[in-house]
Structure 1
Amino acid sequence: MTAASQPAERPVLKIAPQPGPQQQFFESLADIVIYGGAAGGGKSWSLLVEPLRHISNRRFGAVIFRRTSKQVFNEGGLWDEASELYPKLGAKSNMVEATWTFPAGASVSFAHLQHEKDIYIYQGAQIALAEFDELTHFTKKQFFYILSRLRSMSGVRPYVRCSTNPDADSWVAELIAWWIDQDEFLPDGVTPNRRYGLPIPERAAVVRYFLKDGDRYIWGATREEVYEQRPAGKKIEMRDVKSLTFIPAALEDNQILVQKDPDYRGNLLMQDAVEQARLLDGNWKTRKSAGMYFKRTWVEVVDVVPAQARRIRYWERAATEPNPDNPDPDWTRGVLLAQAPDGVVYVEDVIGLRGAPGEVEKLILNTAKVDRERYPDIIIGIEQDPAAAGKAEANSYLKLLAGFDVRMFPVSGKGQKVTRFSPFSAQAYGRNVKVKQGLWNQEWFEELEAFPTVGVHDDQVDATGGAYNALNAPSKEEKPRASAQDVKNIQTAFMRRLKGR
C-alpha cells in the first residue's frame, strides 16, 4: 500500500483540565464538591466533563440540574456546550428526553427543579452522579432531597458535583462558611479586613466531613470526629457522614476563556459594584445595600452638556396628592438624560410633582414642549403598566402628546427595581456618568445613594434607570436565535418527560 493510499489517522480528542482549581475539581474524592466563586472559572464545562470518566459503564447515569428548563436550553448554555462536546465521543442526543446516550449505554440527562414540588418526580430514581449548575439558585430542601436519591447499580459510588457563584444570603453561604473569611476586621478590631468574604486560599479543596441534624450541621476534620458527635437517639452509621469541599475559581484560572474571549473581563467590569464584587472578585459577603448601587463620588458634576447627543425625557409617574391618609405619596419624576457620541452619559435635568392625574398630564405636556424647543429630536419615554389599564392609559398619553416622539416602555415586577437600575449603576461605577449642576442635584444624589433602602422613595431611581435602559434598548430588528414557538416546544417536551419518569 502506497503512502498516498494509506488511511488518514483519526484525530485524537484530548480532554484535560487546566492546572489549578479545575484540576483540583477533577481530582477530588469528596462526596460533594462545590466549585465556584467568580464568573468565568470554567465551572459549567467541568460539570459536563465529569460524567465522561464513566461513559464506558453501560449502567451509569448522571443528571445535571438547572433551576429552570429555559436555563438548560439558553443560547450558549449547558445543552449547547454538550452539543459541541458529546458527539465527539459518539453520543446521540434526544431533545424530547433532554438526554445524551453514549455508545456503551451510559447516559447524561438534563433536568430542572423550577418548583419545590418537582423534587418528587425523582421518588424511586437511582442517580449515580447528581450535578447542580448554579447551586445558589436551588433551595436547601431541593439539594438535600436529591442527595437522598443517590443510589447506583452501576458500581460507581454515588456522588455530587456543583458549580456556583457567590450569594451572601443563600443557604450555600452557610454550608461553605469554613472556607470563606468571616472576619470583617483585622485582629485590632478597627482595621477593615480586605479579604472579608473572600475564599481562604489555604483552605481551598480541603475536605471536611459533616452530618446534617435537622437544620444543624455537625462538622469535623475526619469522618470519625463527626461520628463521635452524632445525635443521641438516632441510628447513625459511619458511612452516613459525608465529605465536602469547596474549590474557589476566578476568571484568571480559565486561561482558555481569557484567550478566546479577551473582552469577557470587560463585560464583568460593566456590572454594578455588587455584581463586580461577586462575579469578578468572588466575594461571598457582598449584599445589596444602600450605597452599593450609587455614590456621588462616582460621577462628575459639570456645567455644560454636549449639544450633540441622543436625549430622552423619561417619566416615572404617580398621581396622588399628599393627604391625611397618605401624607408622603410617591412622586412623578421626569429625568432628562443624554448620551454623547463618545458614550458618556449625562443626567441633565430632573423635575418632579406630587399631584392629581390632571396635574401630572399638564406637567408632562408642558415639559415636552419646552424640551422640544431646545432639542427637536428628543424622545419622550413613559413607563407603562403592562396590564389592560396600563394600555388604556398609554393610549391616553399618545393622544395627549400627539406630534411628539413618544415611546411607551412596559414595566412590571416591583421586585425587579435593582435589576432595572443596575445598568445605569454600572455606568456610574465605571466613571462614565456626568451630572449637570442644578438645584435638583442634592435630592437626586441622596435618593440614589439610599437605594434600595425600604421605606425611602425611589422614584428618581426608577426614572433614571428607566431613561438609560430606554435610550439603550436593543433594536427591534434584532431577532432571537430561536422562535418563541421553538422554545415553547422544547420546554413542553421537557416537562412531559419529567412528568413521565
Structure 2
Amino acid sequence: MNLHYSITPKQRLFMETEAFEVLYGGAAGGGKTFVQALDALLYAMRYQGSRQLILRRTYKELERSMVPQTMRLYPARLARYNASGHVWRIGRSIVELGYIATEGDVTQYQSAEYDVIRFDEMTHFTESQYTYMISRVRGTSGFPKHVKCTANPGSVGHANAKSRFIDIGAPMQVHECEGGSRLFIPAKLEDNPFLMEADPEYEERLKNLPHDVYTALRDGNWDYYVGQYFTEFKRETHVCAPFEIPDYWRRYVALDYGLDMLAAYWIAVDEADNAVAYREVYEPDLIIPQAAKRLREANGGEYITAWFAPKDLWNRRQETGRSVADIFAEEGVYLDQVSNGRIAGWYELKRRLEPAPDEFGQLRPRLRMFDTCVNLIRTLPALQHDEKHPNDCATEPHEVTHAPDALRYFCDGCPLPASVPGMRDEEYRTYEEEFADVMDY
C-alpha cells in the first residue's frame, strides 16, 4: 500500500539511519513529533511483529501531542487504536504510547522488550530514566534495534542529551561510542518548509517570548536554552586554547570534594584581575588521602597562593574527631575555607563571565578556561535556575554541579590579582618573594 507524506531531507535521514541512538532536535517547529509518529508507522509496517514504545514524560503531554498526532497520521484501514491501553496495532506490530513521570515509573517496563524506543522530548527525562529504558531495547526478533529521540534544548535532561549527542563530534555524522553508534541531526525552523508555508507568522509569534526562550527555541542552541542560569557563557568567548601563563600571575586552586566527585581547577589571575582556569582534575570514587595525592600529583610543585574549599570540609566527624580538611592537611594539602554563600558566589561568577571593557577598550570576560577543562565546559552551561529559588542554581542533575561549585568557591575566596614584576606596593608581593618565604618556612 502506498502512503504519500512530504518529508524533509533531515527527517528522511532520521528515518533511514542505521545508528543505534539518534537525536533529531534543536529549534521549535522542526517537525519532530511528526517524524517520530511517521517513522513508527513505517517501521511497524515494514517489520511485521515488531514492538515499539513512544514515550513522553507525563500523561498530559502524551494526550496533547503524540496521541492526536498519531490519530491524524495513521490511516484507519491500516491501524487500530486501543484508547484504554494507549496501544496501536498495525497488522501484527504494536506501537505503545507511554509515559514516565517519576523515577519509579521505569519499573513498569522491567520485563518488557522493544525493538525501538522513542523519546519524544528526550530532555524532559532524567539521565537515569533514559539509560534504564535503553536496556529495554532487546529481543531475538532480528529486527533493527534503535533508540530514537527528539528534543528541544533545556529541562532536566539537557546535560544528558548534550553529552550523548552534541559533545561527541560533528552533527550529521555517525559516531561510534561505548554502547553503540550515535547520530545527531540538528533541526532548524528553516528545515520545516511545510510549517513556514502553512503558518508564516509562526516565527513572528516566537519573538514575543523572552529573549532567552526565543534564542533557545528559534536557533536550537545547545549552549543556550530555556532555564539556563549562566546565559553569559559562550563557548567562542570563554573557551581558549592553552597558552603559556606568565610566571608572575597568581595561581589558585578551587575544589569541590565528595566521594562521588573530586572537581578541582587551577586558576591563574593576572594584574588586571583577569582569570583563566588552566588545569582540571575531575575524578569520582577517591577517598580523602587518594584525593589529596591526586591533587599533589596534578600540581607538580607549583606554588599556589590559596586552595579554596567550602566550609563543610571543616566539619568534624563524630567517629574520628577529624575533618576532611584535617586529613587533607596531613597529606600535605592545606585548604583555605570560603563562606560558601551560594547566591553571592553565583552572582560574582556571573560578573566574571560577563564581557567588560579591558585596558584597550575591548570587550572580554574576566574569566576564561582552557579547552582542556572539558568537564567545566560541559557542565557550566548545563546549570539551570532553581524553580523555587530563581536566584540560585538547581542542585539537580547533581553531576553537573561539581565543576561550577568549584568555580564559585574561587569567586567566594576573593582572589587577589597579580603584581607586575618591578612594581611594588604595600599590598602585593612578587611571586618569587612569596615562594621563597614558603620554602624558608
Give the TM-score normalised by structure 1.
Answer: 0.44
Give the TM-score normalised by structure 2.
Answer: 0.49
The structure with the largest alpha-carbon Rg is 1
